[in-house]
Amino acid sequence: MFKGQPKGLFALALANTGERFGYYTMIAVFALFLRANFGLDPGTAGLIYSSFLMLVYFLPLVGGILADKFGFGKMVTAGIIIMFFGYLLLSIPLGSGTMALIGMIAALLLIGFGTGLFKGNLQVMVGDLYNEPQFAAKRDAGFSLFYMAINIGALFAPTAAIKIREWAISLGFDGNAAYHFSFAVACVSLIVSIAIYYAFRSWFKHVEGGAKKDKKEEIVDTLTPEQTRKRMVALFLVFAVVIFFWMSFHQNGLTLTYFADEFTARSSEGIQSMAFNVWNLVAVIAIVYALFSIFDKETSGKGMYISLGVVIAAVAFLIWQYHRLSGPIEVSAPIFQHFNPFYVVALTPVSMAIFGSLAKKGKEPSAPRKIAYGMLVAAVAFGLMMFFSIGLPHPETVMGPDGQLVGKHVADVTPNLLISVYLILTFGELLLSPMGISFVSKVAPPKYKGMMMGMWFVATALGNFLVQVGGHLWGPLPLWAVWAVFLGVCVISAIFMFSMMKKLEDATR
């Protein structure tokens, strides 16, 4: 799985892991922070949340245009620095008044712009590592590994957000001020990120780009105007579909978190409770990867014994953890967000093995076809939510004793529902997101690579802006109808994608 990849992939992936850990630590509690700190209703909190997500994913277009002129490496470095100051401002507890709101908006603008310079351009650099003939066939696998690294950072983020907030409260800070300690984690993670970037820069410096290199690359762009047009049409068709995937998928930070907070049981016990400890999930991941190593024909005898030792140690750890259980544990709503990155990391080798086997048989689906399947899988997840929400009461918001709007806990649905839904959504994500990024890096005309990767993020931004739809539906509609909206969106998008399949696949030839 890791063999045959350019070593620059691992350096760039680790640099991205640090940045994503800080980002997802913030995102894990951001929607709840908006409601608790400013007393916002679900719709208004959803508007701010989705607008920030839109900003984060729209500005890579600007970053891509700047990088096409000045180079990808310079923009990545500038992005990390700008993000650092944004998170630093967000981590300062300014209260809940007008100044606090202004400070938060300023911080979000800095984070959004910094991410715009960093995120897309780093991914273009990853894609350019595969322009060399010896790596070309490894492109899809490389992006799957890169995507896995992103989710390693995201896996630990919810636990970090919750534990750091609890620690701040234990020091005497009130609940609202304690949220800012979670935001401060991102500052530290960005320092780690830039340290990794420069420590291993020699591995990928040749793809950082620059004004002189860009001019040289224009000479080797041998596409005809007709080929360029076909590729651009295919890209924009994909962009149109992914808007609606992200609109639905990123309900994980909004309505699915509201559901966890208001409808899901707040305690867990037995084996189920072990799923809420991130170290147990890490042990499961270790078992998965070690087993793949054991059954890999290229693994040496020594490597096989090491992998077997990892399996035994991880299983022993899980047994020890089970025997340490002592009654129910408290389940906090943000912790559910660690299941998606856990599944991504754990299932990536499974996904790569399946598609690797299909590729050897000449039956691997094209990237556009995988994207269409991803939409159908996401529809299944929301269908499950819809089915199990039938009969549940409308979502409600009530005024708490401190004068702030809070969700009213009205049901004790088993946590297994959200755990299962996140599993299904992750299958959809693995089919769509890394394959979509790989598709853009492969199909985009060379002179428009930065801009087209930016457009991928613009499509994601529009989808994230539409995330707020869930917040506005939360309350006016029966709960099952909220999920039915996203079910319908995913099914319609999949149908559209399949109807355009010939144009999409022709563009990759």
Residues 162 and 262 placed together within one structural domain of the fold: yes
Sort 375 into a burial class: Cβ within 10 Å, 0-12 / 13-18 / 19+.
buried
Contacts of 432-436 with C-beta under 8 Å, sequence gap 24+, read 432/242, 432/245, 432/370, 432/371, 432/374, 432/375, 433/147, 433/374, 434/140, 434/143, 434/144, 434/146, 434/147, 435/140, 435/143, 435/367, 435/370, 435/371, 435/374, 436/238, 436/242, 436/367, 436/371
Contact present, 170 and 158 (Cβ < 8 Å) = no
Contact present, 145 and 5 (Cβ < 8 Å) = yes
- Contacts with 193 (C-beta within 8 Å, 6 or more apart), sequence order: 15, 16, 17, 18, 19, 22, 80
Residue with the bigger pLDDT between 32 and 346: it is: 346
pLDDT band at 218 (very low <50, low <70, confident <90, very high): very low
Residues 154 and 246 placed together within one structural domain of the fold: yes
Please identify, among 330, 356, 377, the residue that sits at the C-terminal boundary of a domain.
Answer: 330
Q: Are strands 267-268 and 397-399 parallel, antiparallel or unpaired?
A: unpaired
Residues 250 and 325 placed together within one structural domain of the fold: no
pLDDT band at 31 (very low <50, low <70, confident <90, very high): confident
Contact present, 178 and 169 (Cβ < 8 Å) = yes
Q: 2 lies in a domain? A: no
Name which of 9-23, 109-123, 373-387, 493-507 the model is least confident about.
493-507
Please identify, among 330, 345, 365, the residue that sits at the C-terminal boundary of a domain.
Answer: 330
Mean pLDDT of 76-87: 94
Q: Which residues pair with 268 in a beta bridge?
A: 329
Cα–Cα distance, 355 to 123 (Å, whole number): 22
Q: Which residues pair with 397 in a beta bridge?
A: 407
Would the CA dihedral through 140, 141, 142, 147 be positive or negative?
positive
Cα–Cα distance, 164 to 175 (Å, whole number): 12
Residues 355 and 401 placed together within one structural domain of the fold: yes
Say if residue 12's pLDDT is above 70: yes
Please identify, among 330, 346, 367, the residue that sits at the C-terminal boundary of a domain.
Answer: 330
Q: How far lies 123's CA from each of 112, 423, 508, in Å?
A: 17, 25, 19
- CA torsion angle 329 28 417 433 (round to 10): -140
pLDDT band at 407 (very low <50, low <70, confident <90, very high): low
Q: Which residue carries 């199990």 as its tokens?
A: 388
Say if residue 199's pLDDT is above 90: yes
Residue with the bigger pLDDT between 98 and 386: it is: 386
Residue with the bigger pLDDT between 103 and 409: it is: 103
Residues 197 and 311 placed together within one structural domain of the fold: no
Contacts of 200-205 with C-beta under 8 Å, sequence gap 24+, read 200/8, 200/11, 200/14, 201/11, 203/6, 203/7, 203/8, 203/10, 203/11, 204/6, 204/8, 204/11, 204/12, 204/125, 204/129, 205/73
- Contacts with 444 (C-beta within 8 Å, 6 or more apart), sequence order: 231, 235, 452, 453
Q: What pLDDT, in 10s, does the model give residues 180-193?
A: 888 888 899 999 99
What share of the chain in percent tops pLDDT 90?
A: 35
Residues 279 and 353 placed together within one structural domain of the fold: no
Q: What pLDDT, in 10s, does the model give residues 88-126?
A: 999 988 888 889 999 999 999 999 999 989 988 898 898
Contact present, 378 and 425 (Cβ < 8 Å) = yes
pLDDT at 220: 56
Mean pLDDT over each residue of the chain, to the nearest integer: 86
Q: 144 lies in a domain? A: yes
**Which CATH number is 253's domain given?**
1.20.1250.20
Contact present, 187 and 111 (Cβ < 8 Å) = no
Residues 172 and 256 placed together within one structural domain of the fold: yes
What share of the chain in percent tops pLDDT 70?
A: 94
Q: What pLDDT, in 10s, does the model give residues 453-479?
A: 778 878 888 998 898 899 889 888 899
pLDDT at 396: 67
Q: 171 lies in a domain? A: yes
- Give the largest CA-CA distance in the chain: 68
Q: Which residues pair with 330 in a beta bridge?
A: 267
Q: Which of 293-297, 382-386, 430-434, 499-503 has the highest mean pLDDT?
A: 382-386
Pick the closest to residue 471 from 245, 179, 256 (CA basis). 256
How many domains does the chain fold into?
2
Q: 364 lies in a domain? A: yes
Say if residue 377's pLDDT is above 50: yes
Say if residue 289's pLDDT is above 70: yes
pLDDT at 492: 94
Q: What pLDDT, in 10s, does the model give residues 437-451?
A: 778 878 888 778 767
State the DSSP string of 11-36. Answer: HHHHHHHHHHHHHHHHHHHHHHHHHH
Name which of 254-258, 286-290, 353-357, 420-424 the model is least confident about.
353-357
pLDDT band at 397 (very low <50, low <70, confident <90, very high): low
Residues 170 and 84 placed together within one structural domain of the fold: yes
Q: 213 lies in a domain? A: no
Say if residue 382's pLDDT is above 90: yes
| Domain region containing 151 | 7-206+226-266+331-507
pLDDT band at 231 (very low <50, low <70, confident <90, very high): confident
Q: 153 lies in a domain? A: yes
Q: 120 lies in a domain? A: yes
Q: What pLDDT, in 10s, does the model give residues 128-155?
A: 888 888 888 788 778 878 888 888 888 8
Say if residue 21's pLDDT is above 80: yes
Residues 56 and 125 placed together within one structural domain of the fold: yes
Q: 421 lies in a domain? A: yes
Q: What pLDDT, in 10s, does the model give residues 297-323?
A: 777 778 889 999 999 999 999 999 999
Q: What pLDDT, in 10s, does the model give residues 165-175?
A: 888 888 888 77
Say if residue 214's pLDDT is above 50: no
pLDDT at 1: 61
* pTM recorded for the entire structure: 0.79
Cα–Cα distance, 145 to 1 (Å, whole number): 9
3-state secondary structure of 264: strand
Q: Which residue carries 């950072």 as its tokens?
A: 153
How many Cα atoms occupy the beta-carbon half-sphere of 136 within 13 Å? 5
Residues 237 and 320 placed together within one structural domain of the fold: no
Residues 185 and 294 placed together within one structural domain of the fold: no
pLDDT band at 219 (very low <50, low <70, confident <90, very high): very low
Residues 318 and 196 placed together within one structural domain of the fold: no
